[in-house]
Structure 1
Amino acid sequence: MESGQGYWVVIATLLSAAVLAVLPVPHALVWWRPEWVALVLVYWCIALPHRVGVVVALLTGIGMDILEGAVLGQNTFALSVIALLSVGLYQRVRLFSLWQQAGIVFVLIGIHQLICQWVQNLEGVGTQQPLFLLPALSSALFWPLVLSLLRGLRRHYRVA
């Protein structure tokens, strides 16, 4: 990406993920909602580690904290940690099979969920049930679709 060319694709996908993150879902599916923003961020950190990393995660996290009304820093910290891990692991993750990648995504999103749950427990609003890890499972199951869609966008718009 010379001088920011193609960055609009990254921004547009992160904004789309933020919209998906706050769309209303039926009460029965609330715990199963994938962590769309984290999924998209993980993809871009693995695909373009030299362009998308902790700084993008910090800015995205601040936006998500404001959008969700969370404690300022909750998503910022969680997304920054998984961006740091993703950028550190990108060479290995690229070599894994699709389902091995989904396993890594499960762990990364699980770490994201644990950090958010920890902050919520400090606030006194966290859940005492392990249901907060269900988004990690649904995110891992959606990984093949997200990977295929974002890879197609990246190739179509020649984002490098």
Structure 2
Amino acid sequence: MTPRITNKLGIFLTLVIALTLSVIAMPHSLSVIRPEWVAMTIIYWSMALPRRVGLGTAWITGLLLDVLTGSLLGQHALALTVIAFISIRTHQRVRVYPIWQQTLAVGLMLVVYRILLLWVYGVTGHIPDLSLYWIPVITSMLLWPLLFMLLRHIRRRLQLTV
């Protein structure tokens, strides 16, 4: 395989793994703390490779997530596209932050993501339990340093550059 195909395949596989982790069956007590795997993966790749992973990738990945979760078509696509846009616009600043500041920046992006999803839920009349709604943001922030290091290792291993 050519390096170009291998590079695209590496990014694609990380997104497929994130989609799988987002829909894998779990008990309800654990599913409420499920991190936002797809959103974090989109944030990482759009910060690391903003010219390769952009709004189109976020939109298509969001549509796939909508289909896999059975949610309103375009709901996750909209939210992922918005956070990809924010991530691309701020990538030069956020990438040089220490990991703890990067975690806070990613947390803010995930809050925007969850607000957009909440807005769609409100428009469609499916209001979730707000006492548990924000927990995935916290678990995602706790896992961000590990996911960041893993995806950075994959990016370096595949020699993906901007």
Mark yes or no: TM-score above 0.5: yes
Whether 2:110 is the aligned partner of 1:106: answer no
C-alpha displacement at 1:26, in angstroms? 2.2
Question: Is the contact made by 1:5 and 1:159 (CA closer than 8 Å) also made in structure 2?
Answer: no
Q: What corresponds to 2:71 in structure 1?
A: 70
C-alpha displacement at 1:5, in angstroms? 4.9
Cα deviations across residues 123-148 of structure 1 (Å, max 9, x unaligned)?
11122524211111111110001001
Gaps of 5+ in 2: none
Change (3 A) 1:88 1:4: farther
Deviation beyond 2 Å, 4+ runs, structure 1: 1-5
Q: Aligned partners of 2:31, 2:6: CA distance in 1, in Å? A: 37
Q: What corresponds to 1:125 in structure 2?
A: 126
Change (3 A) 1:111 1:130: farther
Q: What corresponds to 2:60 in structure 1?
A: 59
Question: Is the contact made by 1:82 and 1:112 (CA closer than 8 Å) also made in structure 2?
Answer: yes
Gaps of 5+ in 1: none
Q: Aligned partners of 2:51, 2:131: CA distance in 1, in Å? A: 35
Q: What corresponds to 1:152 in structure 2?
A: 153
Q: Aligned partners of 1:135, 1:61: CA distance in 2, in Å? A: 17
Cα deviations across residues 104-141 of structure 1 (Å, max 9, x unaligned)?
11111111111111111211112252421111111111
Matched AA of 1:149: L
The CA RMSD over aligned residues, in Å, is 1.5
**Count of aligned pairs:** 160
C-alpha displacement at 1:30, in angstroms? 2.0
| Percent identity over paired residues | 38
